[in-house]
Amino acid sequence: MTILVIAEHTNAALAPATLNTVAAAAKIGGDIHVLVAGAGCAAAAEAAAKIAGVAKVLVADNAAYAHQLPENVAPLVAELGKGYSHILAAATSNGKNVLPRVAAQLDVDQISEIIAVESADTFKRPIYAGNAIATVQSSAAVKVITVRSTGFDPVAAEGGSAAVEAVSGAADAGKSAFVGEELAKSDRPELTAAKIVVSGGRGMQNGDNFKHLYALADKLGAAVGASRAAVDAGFVPNDMQVGQTGKIVAPQLYIAVGISGAIQHLAGMKDSKVIVAINKDEEAPIFQVADYGLVADLFEAVPELEKLV
């Protein structure tokens, strides 16, 4: 049994989610190969070779893979993947974009966002916004799976010494082209990898008031998230959204400020170790999942909290 893990990377560096995906592969058992497909991605490949437990790194360095366009990357992965028992990718926006296309090319079903490995063919995954956990079994020759990072502790990024091997793939499929991107700039830790997350909701009232959360987050070394209400109201950009349709986080500490706690938001954070809710409505559903709840006006409580931590 040999498992192919698709690396999540920016060409220059490996994304942390790759380490969680390798951890899931290690639970399945067998040799682990990592595919780094990109353009000028030697640095990412070098980092992949150092991951503990990786046997081999395949590098497909080609201008066609520069922005991970699925029309170009999926045929490469499907072709390489035929020889493997499992193909795994992180359930990031990139993994979700590419992997179903791979599965359909291989004519197998895909299993999305697993949170646990029961055996080499049986996995657990959340459905209905995390309100039910399904155990699913695959009889596919090649099992194509995306992995929810928060379900698996990352393996060590150092300590491995895998062989690096170049592979060639198909050229540009000519169906799509990268036009441009606008990435949000932030000095704070990445939301999905942060140990502490401070999130604001509609109760923040406007974007300017998020400065209170930024000040608290900086003191705690935390990332700042938001509910859909705060994103839709234009307080903060959408890549800060935590929930069923945004990012899934499971930090040590999640502080929900002015967030009522709708089902869709809880789907993104209810696996956090400790949840704190600050809300002036004591009936808010968020208090049903909070370990520590404080019924208070956030505009008084948050600055005070910032002073005391």
Partner 1 sequence: MKVLVAVKRVVDYNVKVRVKADNSGVDLANVKMSMNPFCEIAVEEAVRLKEKGVASEIVVVTIGPNTAQEQLRTALALGADRAILVESNDELNSLAVAKLLKAVVDKEQPQLVIMGKQAIDSDNNQTGQMLGALTGYGQGTFASKVEVAGDKVNVTREIDGGLQTVALNLPAIVTTDLRLNEPRYASLPNIMKAKKKPLDVVTPDALGVSTTSTVKTLKVEAPAARSAGIKVKSVAELVEKLKNEAKVI
Is 59 or 103 the residue whose CB approaches partner 1 more closely? 103
Near partner 1 by CB under 8 A: residue from 37, 108, 147, 269? 108
Q: Which of residues 63-102 bind partner 1 (CB under 8 A)?
A: 67, 69-71, 74, 92-94, 96-102
Determine, following the binding rule CB under 8 A, whether residue 153 of this chain makes contact with partner 1: no
Determine, following the binding rule CB under 8 A, whether residue 42 of this chain makes contact with partner 1: no
Q: Nearest to residue 102, comparing CAs of 24, 33, 29, 5?
A: 5
Is 118 or 165 the residue whose CB approaches partner 1 more closely? 118
Q: What sign does the CA torsion over 167, 104, 180, 229 have?
A: negative
The strand pair at 31-38 and 2-6 is best described as parallel
Q: How many CB atoms sit inside 10 A of residue 135's CB?
A: 10
* Residues whose CB falls within 8 Å of the CB of residue 269, separated by 6 or more in sequence, listed in order: 197, 199, 225, 242, 243, 248, 249, 250, 254, 256, 275
Near partner 1 by CB under 8 A: residue from 126, 169, 225, 261? 126
Determine the interface stretch with partner 1 among 32-40, 53-61, 150-158, 262-270 (rule: CB under 8 A): 262-270
* Residues whose CB falls within 8 Å of the CB of residue 277, separated by 6 or more in sequence, listed in order: 256, 259, 261, 284, 286, 287, 289, 290, 292, 293, 294
Q: Which of residues 190-229 bind partner 1 (CB under 8 A)?
A: 192, 196, 220, 228
Near partner 1 by CB under 8 A: residue from 38, 130, 160, 261? 130
Is 70 or 160 the residue whose CB approaches partner 1 more closely? 70
Near partner 1 by CB under 8 A: residue from 53, 205, 245, 280? 245
Q: Which of residues 270-289 bind partner 1 (CB under 8 A)?
A: 270, 273-276, 282, 287, 289
Determine the interface stretch with partner 1 among 36-44, 57-65, 132-140, 149-157 (rule: CB under 8 A): 132-140
Provide the minimum distance between the beta carbon of 162 and partner 1 in the complex, in angstroms, as a whole number.
26
Dist CA 275 CA 93 (whole Å): 26
Is 62 or 68 the residue whose CB approaches partner 1 more closely? 68
| Tokens standing for residue 4 | 């192919």
Near partner 1 by CB under 8 A: residue from 4, 51, 64, 103? 103
Total number of residues shown for the chain: 309
The strand pair at 86-90 and 163-166 is best described as unpaired
Q: Nearest to residue 135, comparing CAs of 121, 149, 150, 151?
A: 121
C-alpha neighbours within 13 Å on the C-beta side of residue 187 = 5
- Look up tokens 């990435």; give the residue: 183
Provide the minimum distance between the beta carbon of 305 and partner 1 in the complex, in angstroms, as a whole number.
5
Near partner 1 by CB under 8 A: residue from 107, 165, 281, 297? 107
